[in-house]
Amino acid sequence: MVVMDYANNGNLRENLTRIIESGWNQKLHMLYRIISGLNDIHKQNLIHCDFHDDNIL
């Protein structure tokens, strides 16, 4: 089990309207950060068993 700090800004799904209005550079930067986070998890031989927009903070 992993316990994390509370995310004040919500998750990806809750912020999709704001994100859709963002420019492409900001969207690509956000995608890069998501991919980098998954890569860090995989480097530690861990997996994310429930990966979807509600679980991206």
Check residue 36 and give its pLDDT.
Answer: 94
Check residue 1 and give its pLDDT.
Answer: 64
Per residue in 1-57, pLDDT tens?
Answer: 666 777 788 888 888 788 888 888 888 998 999 899 999 999 999 888 888 888 887
Integer Cα distance of 46 and 52 in angstroms: 17
The residue extents of the domains of the chain are: 13-55
Check residue 38 and give its pLDDT.
Answer: 92
* Length of the chain, in residues: 57
